[in-house]
Structure 1
């Protein structure tokens, strides 16, 4: 076979792969409410919020550990009162959950990004930061990395929050419940913008969040399989090794640690760990987290 034939086959194969990637939304996700508020434009998915409804989608499968990424272009202009959320969550009253919530704002004001971590149904771990770019002007990648050692929230691969496994200190860590992946846009003007003082201006509707770059690299957990068996299957053993269990992914690199310190010093505007009004006694995990 000549090298040109081989090259042709390779190019054709590459095109097939790229086509598969460009339809990833339908492979990985499905709209789960307000289907008439979705628009499909090639590889882009748009969800709109108007005075009648918001919209949301969810992954078709649940996962135990891995990395989930969405590229999102947030609602432009006056988006006060709106929230666009990207999160992972398990089911039930004692669920685990990792949240990105993008809190809209009046024109010209920075978007705030709120992160939260729920463990066994308990949240109240909010942090808020502003971003070092305008998230409405272009797509940026937002990722959640989850393994046995830590949960890392990343913006364009820069870590903005770490929740470490401190089970050796008696603190519960989310590691035994498979989680779905979700995104939604909705009206939250009772709290989202300046504590609810700024309401949604519906004359700017519809509010549109645009998505592409749907990636889930994780251990898929079929519903029909018992949780304990999923846990065994999704943990690295002698015979197999998942990349997210590698020691290099178990903690931040030195460069990532510096990035996180920079984000905290320059962009964090609220941290539950230092909110003495809400928590007169510092939450236990805050006493042990290095970051």
Structure 2
């Protein structure tokens, strides 16, 4: 169920433990926040339920009407049922340009009876190759589940049903860049990626099972809306706490996971993660610099 504004405040407060806050945008309706970006005829939107369709002709996607800097974006998705091999359903944030920043959820379909994989990735200044993959502790095709990205000047947190599955910490003190100066849009799409998505591309999309349907509800953006008519520096200033405005993502208690969240992340990594770029010595004979410093 999509929560209202007051419900959103309560939910975020329970998760992250803050009291008062200031925020620029706090909305939950699809048409308030998003618009179709391609393949309009592959959309089905009734009430608070949105469905995206993938067939031989096209996939489909939507994007936010505005761009944001810092905050939380949430969406509830029920993934493609049955044989979904070759398909990818994505939920992500991204800025524009060749040196863009990006935070990705990519849900990789599979053959009937085999579990979905969830791949996360982070691009900083146009450079990605930071993939992690995990299995979920539930069947994401049977019901709606919540997927969220929390972005602050201190870290990026990926959440599944409020359980953290990945944390990317600001490590500028070690000379590493961190995405905090480019406004980002919020996007989702479904497309055919059978050249790589399922078992490294060995399993191809079976179009006899088309159309493939991803269903959405529970849209939420609680973030600082940015203006396209001002500089990036002005947007950074606008979205950073100061004497007159205090944003929830700058609260001291939110600068790192609490004890319970840290235990949840350890559990996810131990029980459900099966690929981490930091440990892939074939791809990275020299361990990536952030892996040397990152605690998660």
**SS in structure 1 opposite 2:119?**
strand
* Structure 1 pair 124–68 and aligned structure 2 pair: CA distance change class (3 A): same
Residue 223 of structure 2 corresponds to which residue in structure 1?
218
> 2:224 and 2:131 mapped to 1: Cα distance?
27
Residue 33 of structure 2 aligns with which residue?
Answer: 28
Q: Which has the larger radius of gyration?
A: 1
> Could you say if the C-alpha distance between residues 23 and 169 of structure 1 is closer, same or farther in structure 2, counting changes exceeding 3 Å?
closer
> Measured at CA, do residues 17 and 232 of structure 1 come closer, stay the same or move farther in structure 2, by a change above 3 Å?
closer
**Counterpart among 123, 128, 131 of residue 128 in structure 2:** 123
Unaligned stretches of 5+ residues in structure 1:
1-13
The answer for the alignment partner of 1:155 in structure 2 is 160
Conserved in 2, the CA contact under 8 Å of 1:68 and 1:143? Answer: yes
Aligned length: 276
Contact 2:5 2:27 (C-alpha < 8 Å) held by counterparts: no
Structure 2 residue 279 is matched with structure 1 residue 279: no
Distance change in 2, residues 1:23/1:167 (3 Å):
closer
Which of 185, 190, 197 is the aligned partner of 1:185? 190
User: Secondary structure of the equivalent of 2:138?
Assistant: coil
Aligned to 1:195: 200
Structure 2 Cα separation of the partners of residues 159 and 241 of structure 1: 24
Tell me the equivalent position of 1:11: none
Higher helix share: 1
Aligned partner of 1:288 in structure 2 is 293
Counterpart CA distance in 2 for 1:23 and 1:167 is: 33
Q: Which runs of 4+ in 1 moved over 6 A?
A: 14-18
Please name the residue that 1:8 is paired with: none
SS at match of 1:256: helix
Q: So what's the TM-score if we normalise by structure 2?
A: 0.91
Cα deviation code 1:35-78 (max 9, x no counterpart): 00000122100000000000000000000000000000000000
- Per-residue Cα deviation, 1:164-199 (whole angstroms, up to 9, x for no partner): 000000000000000000000000000000000000
Matched, 1:164 2:177: no
- Structure 1 Cα separation of the partners of residues 247 and 4 of structure 2: 28
Root mean square deviation, CA, Å = 1.7
Query: Which of 272, 284, 287 is equivalent to 1:267?
Result: 272
Shift of 1:22: 9.7
Correspondences of 1:21-100 after superposition (within 5 Å) = 24-100=29-105
Deviation at 1:91, TM superposition (A): 0.2
Give me the whole-angstrom Cα distance separating, in 2, the residues matched to 1:115 and 1:22: 25
Following superposition, the deviation at residue 23 of structure 1 comes to: 7.0
Kept in 2, the 8 Å contact 1:23–1:43? The answer is no
What's the offset of the Cα at 1:16? 11
Q: 1:250 to 1:269 in 2, by over 3 A?
A: same
After TM superposition, the score normalised by the length of structure 1 is 0.92
